[in-house]
Amino acid sequence: LQEQEYEQLRTLLEVIHPGQLADILEAMPPKKRMQLWMLVPESQEAETLSFLHDEVRNSLIITMKPDELVAAVEQMDANDLAYIFEEFPEHVRQSIEEKLPDEILERLETNLSFEEGTAGRLMSQDVITVRNDVTLEVVLRYLQLHEELPDYTDGLMVIDRAGFYQGKLLLNKVLTHNREILVKDVMEKQQAILATDDEHAVTLFFEQFHLVSAAVVDLNNRLIGRITMDDAMEILRAETDRTLLGRDGLDEEEDLFAPVISSTKRRTVWLGINLITAFLAAWVIGIYTDTLDKIVALAVLMPVVASMGGIAGSQTLTLTIRGLALDQITSGNRFWLARKEIFIGILNGLLWAVVIAVMAWLWFQNIGISMVIAAAIIINLVAAAASGIAIPLILQRMHIDPALSGAVILTTVTDVVGFMSFLGLATYFLL
Amino acid sequence: LQEQEYEQLRTLLEVIHPGQLADILEAMPPKKRMQLWMLVPESQEAETLSFLHDEVRNSLIITMKPDELVAAVEQMDANDLAYIFEEFPEHVRQSIEEKLPDEILERLETNLSFEEGTAGRLMSQDVITVRNDVTLEVVLRYLQLHEELPDYTDGLMVIDRAGFYQGKLLLNKVLTHNREILVKDVMEKQQAILATDDEHAVTLFFEQFHLVSAAVVDLNNRLIGRITMDDAMEILRAETDRTLLGRDGLDEEEDLFAPVISSTKRRTVWLGINLITAFLAAWVIGIYTDTLDKIVALAVLMPVVASMGGIAGSQTLTLTIRGLALDQITSGNRFWLARKEIFIGILNGLLWAVVIAVMAWLWFQNIGISMVIAAAIIINLVAAAASGIAIPLILQRMHIDPALSGAVILTTVTDVVGFMSFLGLATYFLL
């Protein structure tokens, strides 16, 4: 870079929004990313780090000197810090703890006292509270004492004299209502989130009520923090990424721009798992080598049976996983759904069995092969529908994320059932 | 239902949050859903409709009498109404237009004047604006004149005397700053969204800056509306649904609880498309029936080659589609990425070629078969990586959504390349 261009870049890096800077960094190959990061001014570092995805953030953090890191995290909110704190090496954690102001350290410890993935770990303790028995005039004067309100303050949290959560006073109301009115008469009785609730429940809560911020309370209904929509959106994004990527055995933190070696390592495990299922399918075919030896047309058609089952099963599986994620599947409608999916399997099975039988007949002019493939298609599509709904339900009960392993198990079932029914029926009827 | 239970249900339906009611309705089989909808009080109908997904909303709307429908939509915001308006039958649209108050009708027409999928169609015209040359005191007095502010008003839109957009005045600032200060001295110079921007750009804008609301301007920078985070979240949800479901040929509006016949119809098309690709693979195998006739072990192993290619390609494809959706893939890093993915394909190909060759040797004790399958695995994994990145890029350039058709095309490639390389090499070297 020319000296002058370099100066322009430094100036640009100082004024750019940290969210935009994070996006630019994420869309860079690792080496260039490091180079750019070196140029980011210290004043931007903390905010930018909090916008980055874990994988990218960690790759940048390890390049920073402990002092620089401490300087950056000092400007972070306690909850953002809690989120990354446990990934730092021991000595970095110690020097951070030594240098942090007492107040922030105390907040950090509160966040860390809740398990990862709970609302308590996620919440910010930067909350403005008002008492329910004061007037809006008092609230207005109180707000004037603040230099600034925390981001996403759409309302103030209302507590009673004893510190118990009562509801939320929207800023809207403060501004539009008569100033003699008491807080308790205009506040919303919005439900609070329990600190021990898990993140997934938090996103559903935000999505259901379209909230900007929500109070977090402890088991005694004492207000201890709040969660804002930007955090809820990030969890939502991470969850959908997990569902989307999990299906291909990819980590939700998978970085399109990670170095070749680490990408290869991550992906190879999944290929290994799938190899086992592929050999299972091969083993099933192996049972019928005598049959294949005699009727080679079977070898030509057998992938059709397996593939149709895989596609149909995958449709049911994806819908079921999504229904579970949105909490739409309950014990009340589970059987109704299973019956519906199996019924669709039968209808589609009948339809495509006829089409495939005709195509097979046109190709091989053998009525026996046509009958056998038709029967195998029906069997496999029904098995696919049943597995598509049963596998995620069973996995969820076993506390295994169906987004991660559901598709492999399903394909194993449809391959095995497909090959076995097709080649098995052929062995029985055609030899 | 007993009379008393019925009464309890009616009371419950009157007080429940429309977002919750929408969730409950969506998780119900169609018949029960209709029955419950009949009981929903008119005062709740409009809000609940705006929380429902299209498919479910439309299924309920068609059961409503025109009068009832008009009564419901009269309470809707113009942009919510614009969203569903074009799906009504002609006579319903006419009676709505006749009965709507002039002001709302005018707003509806403005929204409808922008194309579907643009910011202009999406925006709400319910905006509170202030001039940039007044003091906060004036703003406060002006706000007191309102009974209530629109939802998600985190700030007021600032315009100059001529109506051009200047920035956003956060309510935070109004409440905490000295009242003598001028609006222009405390407002944020937040960028606005162009009315002709597409929805996808809108979600990226909200995600990048974590906004609650943003101004919408016309080409002359005149303020004409605003978009709020609840709309951005809904588009985001719809987009990720499209990516997630599109892969299995499912509509993003696919309803887990839709009637059997309509579900079967929707899904059967996808099975048909896949059947074509399955028969294409079968046709490739058909070329080599002589070879298969002589070495039946090939029939046993061939699904392994195809399946490993499918899995590896699918990993690259998913990452590429996601990278495109997040605007991370640019002309600058495209070739870097392609090179990286192909390199991963080579590494994983070499690794798994060895493993599979050993397994094949243990099974069939034939060094020729082991060599051939090893070569085929390497070829197919490299082809898979190249297609995984090329297919979505090509589809996007052709303005076809890669989330919808990418996976089918990829599987076709990996099946054809897999079978052809494995059986082709075997024919050449082993016969």
Query: Mind listing the pLDDT tens digit for each residue in A104-151?
Result: 889 999 999 999 899 999 999 999 999 999 999 999 999 999 988 888
* Per-residue confidence band for A100, with pLDDT thresholds at 50, 70 and 90: confident
- Collapsing DSSP to helix, strand or coil, A354 comes out as helix
In whole angstroms, how far apart are CA A225 and each of A50, A85, A217, B33? 19, 19, 7, 38
Task: Tell if the CB–CB gap between B267 and A340 is shorter than 8 Å.
Answer: no
- Nearest CA to B95 out of B127, B118, B72 is that of B72
**C-beta of residue A26 within 8 angstroms of C-beta of residue A53:** yes
Element (H, E) at A3: helix A3-15
Q: Could you count the other beta carbons within 10 Å of the beta carbon of residue B9?
A: 13
Banded pLDDT at B252 (limits 50, 70, 90): low
CB atoms closer than 10 angstroms to residue A10: 12
| Cα–Cα distance for residue pair B392/B409, rounded to 1 Å | 10
Smallest CA–CA separation between A249 and chain B, in Å? 8
Distance CA A75, CA B78 (A): 43
| Confidence band for B255, pLDDT divided at 50, 70 and 90 | low
- Residue B228 is predicted with a pLDDT of 92
Are the CB atoms for B411 and B311 separated by under 8 Å?
A: no
- Percent of chain B past pLDDT 70, that is, above it, reads 99
pLDDT value, residue B124: 93
Give the list of residues 6+ apart from residue B202 with CB closer than 8 angstroms, or none.
B119, B122, B193, B227, B232, B235
Asked whether A129 and A213 are in contact (CB, 8 A), the reply is: no
Q: State the Cα torsion B352-B354-B355-B356 to the nearest 10°.
A: 80
Domain covering B260-430 in this structure, CATH number: 1.10.357.20
Pick the most confident of A71-85, A260-274, B362-376. B362-376
The C-alpha atoms of residue A248 and residue B258 are separated, in whole angstroms, by 28
Residue A1 reports pLDDT greater than 70: no
> How many angstroms separate the Cα of B57 from the Cα of each of A120, A203, B48, B63, B253?
36, 23, 9, 10, 11
Cβ-nearest to A285 among B249, B250, B299: B299
pLDDT digits (tens, 9 = 90+) for A318-353: 999 988 888 888 888 889 899 999 999 999 999 999
Q: Give the model confidence (pLDDT) of A280-315 as tens digits.
A: 999 999 999 999 999 999 999 999 999 999 999 999
Output the pLDDT for position B341: 94
* Two tokens, residue A30: 């690792």
CA distance A419 to B6: 53
Mean pLDDT, to the nearest integer, of A233-252? 82
Give the Cα separation of B81 and B99 in Å (integer): 14
Using a CB-CB cut-off of 8 Å, the residues of chain B touching A21 are: none
Beta strand pairing call for B155-159 and B165-170: antiparallel
- CA B250 from chain centre, in angstroms, equals 12
Cβ atoms A227, A123 nearer than 8 A: yes
On whether the CB atoms of residues B39 and B10 are closer than 8 A, the answer is: yes
Residue from A175, A204, A241 to probe the interface with B (highest B Cβ count within 10 Å) = A175
Q: DSSP assignment of B143-182, as one string?
A: HHT-S-PPTT-SEEEEE-TTSBEEEEEEHHHHHHS-TTSB
Q: Is the ipTM of this complex over 0.90?
A: no
Determine the 3-state secondary structure of A96 from DSSP. Answer: helix
Residue with the two structure tokens 């895989």: A310
Minimum mean pLDDT among A3-12, A41-50, B125-134, B250-259: which range?
B250-259
According to the model, what pLDDT value does residue B254 have?
65
CB neighbours of residue A191 within 10 Å: 16
Distance from CA of A403 to the nearest CA of B (A): 11
A356/B198 Cα distance (integer angstroms): 42
Burial B382-415 (b: 16+ CB within 10 A, else e): bbbbbbbbbbbbebbeeeeebbbbbbbbbbbbbb
Can you spell out the DSSP letters for B342-393? HHHHHHHHHHHHHHHHHHHHHHH--HHHHHHHHHHHHHHHHHHHHHHHHHHH
Interface size, chain A vs chain B, as Cβ–Cβ contacts under 8 Å: 301
Task: Evaluate whether B243 touches B403 at the Cβ level (below 8 Å).
Answer: yes
Q: Do B292 and A278 touch (CB under 8 A)?
A: no
Amino acid at A348: N
Tens of pLDDT along A246-263?
Answer: 888 887 666 677 788 888
Q: How far apart are CA A413 and CA A418, in angstroms?
A: 8
Q: Token digits for B236?
A: 């985001």
- φ, ψ for residue B168, nearest 5 deg: -120, 135
Beta-carbon separation of B297 and A275 below 8 A: no
Q: Which of B170, B263, B277 is the best substitution to test chain A (most A C-beta atoms within 10 A)?
A: B263
pLDDT at residue B1 above 70?
no
Return the closest-CA partner of residue B312 out of B344, B280, B360, B359.
B344
Query: Do the strands A223-228 and A213-217 form a parallel or antiparallel pair, or are they unpaired?
Result: antiparallel
CA dist A198 → A365, A405, B73 (Å)? 60, 22, 37
pLDDT of residue A278: 94
Highest-confidence range of A274-278, B78-82, B263-267, by mean pLDDT?
A274-278
Share of chain A above pLDDT 70, in %: 99
C-beta separation of B298 from B369 below 8 A: yes
Contacts of residue B91, defined as CB under 8 A and 6 or more positions apart, other chains included, come to B66
What local confidence, expressed as pLDDT, does residue B368 receive?
Answer: 96
Structure tokens at A160: 């009673």
Q: Element (H or E) spanning A329, and its range?
A: none
Distance of CA A343 to the CA centre of its chain: 31
Q: Over range B207-234, report the average pLDDT.
A: 91
How far apart CA B127 and CA B131 sit, in angstroms, is 13
pLDDT at A431: 87
Inform me whether the pLDDT recorded for B274 exceeds 90. Answer: yes
Domain boundaries, chain A: 3-114, 129-246, 260-430
Are B214 and B154 contacting, i.e. CB atoms less than 8 angstroms apart?
A: no
B271: nearest CB among A27, A296, A352 = A352
Contacts of A415 in chain B (CB under 8 A): 303
Q: Which residue of A has its CA nearest to B337?
A: A257
Structure confidence by residue, pLDDT tens digits, A200-215: 999 989 888 889 999 9
Mean pLDDT of A57-70: 80
Q: Which two tokens stand for residue A273?
A: 């798992």
Distance set, CA A302 to CA A423, B155, B223 (Å): 8, 63, 62
Instruction: For residue B400, report the phi and psi dihedrals to the nearest 5 degrees.
Output: -110, 135
Burial grade of B303 (CB within 10 A; 0-12, 13-18, 19 or more): buried
**Mean pLDDT for chain B?**
90
CA B412 to each of CA B245, B280, B375, B377, B398: distance values in angstroms, whole numbers, following the listed order: 19, 8, 20, 16, 19
Residue B10 near residue B41 (C-beta atoms within 8 A): yes
Chain A residue at shortest CA distance from B19: A208
Which of A27-31, A271-275, B13-17 shows the highest mean pLDDT? Answer: A271-275
* Token pair 């402990």 in the structure block, residue: A66
Helix (H), strand (E) counts: chain A: 21, 6
Look up residue B211 and give its amino acid.
Answer: L
Q: CA nearest A229: which of A250, A248, A206? A: A206
- The whole-number pLDDT of residue B148 equals 85
pLDDT tier at A186, thresholds 50, 70, 90: very high
| A155-172 average pLDDT score | 94
Q: Which two tokens stand for residue B193?
A: 């969204």
CATH fold label, B129-246: CBS-domain (3.10.580)
Question: A239-243, A399-403, B26-30, B292-296: which has the highest mean pLDDT?
Answer: B292-296
pLDDT band at B47 (very low <50, low <70, confident <90, very high): confident
Instruction: Name which of A1-5, A28-32, A92-96 the model is least confident about.
Output: A1-5
| Residues paired with B194 in a beta bridge | B217
Position A336, amino acid? W
Share of chain A above pLDDT 90, in %: 55
Q: Which of B29, B171, B210 sits opposite A175 (nearest CB)?
A: B171
Cβ of A327 and B27 within 8 Å? Answer: yes
Token pair listed for B343:
């390199």
Which residue in B211, B275, B352, B381 has the most chain A C-beta atoms within 10 A of its own C-beta, making it the best mutation to test that interface? B275
Which numeric CATH code is attached to B3-114?
1.25.60.10
Smallest CA-to-CA distance from A183 within A225, A218, A139, A213 is with: A139
Residue B4: how many other CB atoms lie within 10 Å: 8
The H helix count followed by the E strand count for chain B is 21, 6
Length of chain A: 431
A2-18: average pLDDT: 85
Type of residue found at A195: A
B311 contacts on A by Cβ (under 8 Å): 248-249, 270-271, 274
Q: Is B288 left (phi over 0), alpha (psi -120 to 50) or beta?
A: alpha
